[in-house]
Amino acid sequence: MKDRGYAKFQLFNGIVAAGSSYVCRLRDNSRYEIEEERPLAAEDVEAGILLDAIVYLGEYKGAKDRPDHPLRLVVVKTTPHEKRGGPASNGLLLIATNLLDLPAWIIALIYRYRWTIEVFFRFFKHILGCRHLLSRDQAGIEIQTYCAIIACMLISLWTGRKPTLRTYEMICHYFSGLAEEDELLAHLAKLQAHQV
Protein backbone atom coordinates (compact mmCIF):
# COMPACT_ATOMS: atom_id res chain seq x y z
CA MET A 1 0.00 0.00 0.00
CA LYS A 2 1.32 3.39 -0.94
CA ASP A 3 0.18 6.97 -0.78
CA ARG A 4 -0.06 9.52 -3.57
CA GLY A 5 3.57 10.67 -3.31
CA TYR A 6 4.66 7.23 -4.56
CA ALA A 7 2.29 6.97 -7.54
CA LYS A 8 4.90 6.34 -10.25
CA PHE A 9 4.35 4.09 -13.27
CA GLN A 10 7.85 2.60 -13.12
CA LEU A 11 7.28 1.68 -9.47
CA PHE A 12 3.93 0.08 -10.35
CA ASN A 13 5.63 -1.94 -13.09
CA GLY A 14 8.43 -3.00 -10.73
CA ILE A 15 5.95 -4.23 -8.11
CA VAL A 16 4.05 -6.28 -10.69
CA ALA A 17 7.32 -7.65 -12.14
CA ALA A 18 8.25 -8.85 -8.63
CA GLY A 19 5.00 -10.83 -8.51
CA SER A 20 3.31 -8.56 -6.00
CA SER A 21 0.32 -6.22 -5.92
CA TYR A 22 -0.25 -2.58 -5.00
CA VAL A 23 -3.07 -0.36 -3.77
CA CYS A 24 -2.08 3.29 -4.11
CA ARG A 25 -3.85 6.59 -3.63
CA LEU A 26 -3.47 8.95 -6.56
CA ARG A 27 -3.41 12.72 -6.54
CA ASP A 28 -6.84 14.38 -6.67
CA ASN A 29 -5.99 16.04 -10.00
CA SER A 30 -4.83 12.83 -11.73
CA ARG A 31 -5.97 12.49 -15.32
CA TYR A 32 -7.33 9.25 -16.65
CA GLU A 33 -9.20 7.85 -19.62
CA ILE A 34 -11.67 5.03 -19.02
CA GLU A 35 -10.97 1.92 -21.08
CA GLU A 36 -13.59 -0.34 -19.47
CA GLU A 37 -16.09 0.61 -16.77
CA ARG A 38 -16.93 -2.21 -14.39
CA PRO A 39 -20.40 -2.63 -12.86
CA LEU A 40 -20.83 -1.67 -9.21
CA ALA A 41 -22.38 -4.16 -6.79
CA ALA A 42 -24.73 -3.09 -3.99
CA GLU A 43 -21.85 -3.41 -1.47
CA ASP A 44 -19.73 -1.09 -3.63
CA VAL A 45 -22.43 1.58 -3.73
CA GLU A 46 -22.98 1.22 0.02
CA ALA A 47 -19.23 1.75 0.57
CA GLY A 48 -19.35 5.03 -1.39
CA ILE A 49 -17.72 3.71 -4.58
CA LEU A 50 -18.50 6.01 -7.51
CA LEU A 51 -16.40 4.38 -10.22
CA ASP A 52 -14.64 1.06 -10.80
CA ALA A 53 -12.82 0.98 -14.13
CA ILE A 54 -9.79 -0.16 -16.08
CA VAL A 55 -8.12 3.08 -17.15
CA TYR A 56 -5.29 4.70 -19.01
CA LEU A 57 -3.75 6.90 -16.36
CA GLY A 58 -2.03 10.23 -16.96
CA GLU A 59 -0.57 11.68 -20.11
CA TYR A 60 2.05 9.28 -21.41
CA LYS A 61 5.29 10.69 -22.80
CA GLY A 62 6.43 7.41 -24.30
CA ALA A 63 5.90 3.66 -24.20
CA LYS A 64 8.40 3.17 -21.34
CA ASP A 65 6.29 5.41 -19.09
CA ARG A 66 3.14 3.33 -19.46
CA PRO A 67 2.03 0.72 -16.97
CA ASP A 68 2.71 -2.66 -18.59
CA HIS A 69 -0.34 -4.23 -16.93
CA PRO A 70 -4.07 -3.44 -16.65
CA LEU A 71 -4.51 -0.55 -14.22
CA ARG A 72 -7.71 -0.43 -12.20
CA LEU A 73 -9.06 2.81 -10.74
CA VAL A 74 -11.53 2.81 -7.85
CA VAL A 75 -13.04 6.21 -6.99
CA VAL A 76 -14.52 6.56 -3.49
CA LYS A 77 -16.65 9.44 -2.22
CA THR A 78 -15.22 10.69 1.08
CA THR A 79 -15.82 13.47 3.55
CA PRO A 80 -12.79 15.76 3.35
CA HIS A 81 -11.29 16.76 6.67
CA GLU A 82 -9.82 20.13 7.50
CA LYS A 83 -6.07 20.07 7.29
CA ARG A 84 -3.29 22.56 7.73
CA GLY A 85 -1.70 23.65 4.49
CA GLY A 86 -1.73 21.78 1.22
CA PRO A 87 -4.43 21.73 -1.44
CA ALA A 88 -8.04 21.22 -0.39
CA SER A 89 -9.53 17.81 -1.17
CA ASN A 90 -12.33 17.50 -3.69
CA GLY A 91 -13.90 14.69 -1.64
CA LEU A 92 -12.92 11.94 -4.08
CA LEU A 93 -10.37 9.30 -3.18
CA LEU A 94 -8.67 7.90 -6.30
CA ILE A 95 -7.17 4.45 -5.71
CA ALA A 96 -5.05 2.69 -8.35
CA THR A 97 -4.40 -1.04 -8.17
CA ASN A 98 -3.49 -4.07 -10.23
CA LEU A 99 -5.89 -6.26 -8.20
CA LEU A 100 -8.58 -7.03 -10.76
CA ASP A 101 -10.38 -9.91 -9.05
CA LEU A 102 -11.41 -8.24 -5.77
CA PRO A 103 -14.65 -6.30 -5.31
CA ALA A 104 -14.22 -2.51 -5.36
CA TRP A 105 -15.36 -2.14 -1.75
CA ILE A 106 -12.55 -4.49 -0.66
CA ILE A 107 -10.01 -2.29 -2.48
CA ALA A 108 -11.36 0.73 -0.57
CA LEU A 109 -11.19 -1.25 2.69
CA ILE A 110 -7.58 -2.28 2.01
CA TYR A 111 -6.63 1.36 1.58
CA ARG A 112 -8.56 2.37 4.70
CA TYR A 113 -6.71 -0.18 6.84
CA ARG A 114 -3.41 1.19 5.57
CA TRP A 115 -3.55 3.69 8.45
CA THR A 116 -4.00 0.91 11.00
CA ILE A 117 -0.82 -0.70 9.67
CA GLU A 118 1.06 2.61 9.89
CA VAL A 119 -0.11 3.16 13.48
CA PHE A 120 1.12 -0.36 14.34
CA PHE A 121 4.54 0.30 12.80
CA ARG A 122 4.81 3.60 14.69
CA PHE A 123 3.97 1.76 17.93
CA PHE A 124 6.42 -1.02 17.04
CA LYS A 125 9.26 1.43 16.36
CA HIS A 126 8.69 4.08 19.02
CA ILE A 127 7.12 2.28 21.97
CA LEU A 128 8.63 -1.19 21.61
CA GLY A 129 12.01 0.22 20.60
CA CYS A 130 12.34 -1.72 17.34
CA ARG A 131 13.78 1.17 15.36
CA HIS A 132 16.47 -1.00 13.78
CA LEU A 133 16.44 -4.58 12.64
CA LEU A 134 18.83 -6.82 14.54
CA SER A 135 19.01 -9.18 11.56
CA ARG A 136 18.36 -9.00 7.84
CA ASP A 137 17.52 -12.69 7.68
CA GLN A 138 13.78 -13.50 7.51
CA ALA A 139 13.97 -15.75 10.58
CA GLY A 140 15.82 -13.05 12.54
CA ILE A 141 13.23 -10.41 11.63
CA GLU A 142 10.42 -12.77 12.64
CA ILE A 143 12.09 -13.51 16.00
CA GLN A 144 12.54 -9.79 16.74
CA THR A 145 8.93 -9.07 15.78
CA TYR A 146 7.48 -11.93 17.82
CA CYS A 147 9.60 -11.04 20.86
CA ALA A 148 8.42 -7.41 20.74
CA ILE A 149 4.76 -8.41 20.35
CA ILE A 150 4.99 -11.02 23.14
CA ALA A 151 6.63 -8.46 25.44
CA CYS A 152 3.86 -5.99 24.61
CA MET A 153 1.17 -8.56 25.36
CA LEU A 154 2.79 -9.58 28.66
CA ILE A 155 3.06 -5.95 29.80
CA SER A 156 -0.56 -5.40 28.80
CA LEU A 157 -1.72 -8.52 30.67
CA TRP A 158 0.27 -7.57 33.76
CA THR A 159 -0.73 -3.91 33.90
CA GLY A 160 -4.10 -4.01 32.18
CA ARG A 161 -2.94 -1.15 29.96
CA LYS A 162 -1.22 -0.58 26.67
CA PRO A 163 2.57 -0.29 27.15
CA THR A 164 4.02 3.21 27.10
CA LEU A 165 7.46 4.40 26.16
CA ARG A 166 8.19 4.98 29.86
CA THR A 167 7.28 1.37 30.70
CA TYR A 168 9.46 0.09 27.87
CA GLU A 169 12.37 2.23 29.12
CA MET A 170 11.90 1.00 32.70
CA ILE A 171 12.00 -2.65 31.54
CA CYS A 172 15.13 -1.95 29.47
CA HIS A 173 16.76 -0.30 32.52
CA TYR A 174 15.87 -3.33 34.62
CA PHE A 175 17.32 -5.83 32.12
CA SER A 176 20.50 -3.76 31.68
CA GLY A 177 21.00 -3.47 35.46
CA LEU A 178 20.26 0.26 35.70
CA ALA A 179 17.04 -0.27 37.69
CA GLU A 180 16.30 -2.63 40.56
CA GLU A 181 13.43 -5.09 40.61
CA ASP A 182 11.56 -3.07 43.24
CA GLU A 183 11.74 0.04 41.01
CA LEU A 184 10.28 -1.89 38.09
CA LEU A 185 7.53 -3.38 40.28
CA ALA A 186 6.74 0.06 41.71
CA HIS A 187 6.39 1.45 38.17
CA LEU A 188 4.09 -1.39 37.13
CA ALA A 189 2.05 -1.04 40.34
CA LYS A 190 1.54 2.64 39.52
CA LEU A 191 0.19 1.67 36.11
CA GLN A 192 -2.18 -0.85 37.70
CA ALA A 193 -3.36 1.76 40.25
CA HIS A 194 -4.22 4.17 37.43
CA GLN A 195 -6.27 1.43 35.81
CA VAL A 196 -8.57 1.02 38.85
Residue 120 lies in a domain: no
Task: Check residue 80 and give its pLDDT.
Answer: 72
Do 105 and 138 sit in the same domain of this protein? no
Residue pair 21/43 in contact by the 8 Å Cβ criterion: no
Domain that holds residue 169: 128-195
Computed on alpha carbons and rounded to an integer, the radius of gyration of the chain in Å comes to: 23
Residue 139 pLDDT exceeds 90:
yes
Q: How many domains does the chain have?
A: 2
Residue pair 1/111 in contact by the 8 Å Cβ criterion: yes
Residues in CB range of 18: below 8 A, 6 or more apart: none
Q: Pick from 80, 115, 150: which residue ends a domain?
A: 115
What average pLDDT does range 107-114 have in this prediction? 90
Q: Pick from 115, 142, 172: which residue ends a domain?
A: 115
Share of the chain above pLDDT 90, in %: 31
pTM for this model (two decimals): 0.64
Residue 78 pLDDT exceeds 80:
yes
C-alpha span between 68 and 88 (Å, rounded): 32
Residue 132 pLDDT exceeds 90:
no
Do 99 and 27 sit in the same domain of this protein? yes
Residue 108 lies in a domain: yes
Residue 146 lies in a domain: yes
Residue 58 lies in a domain: yes
Q: Pick from 115, 145, 176: which residue ends a domain?
A: 115
What average pLDDT does range 151-168 have in this prediction? 81
Do 38 and 71 sit in the same domain of this protein? yes
Do 56 and 108 sit in the same domain of this protein? yes
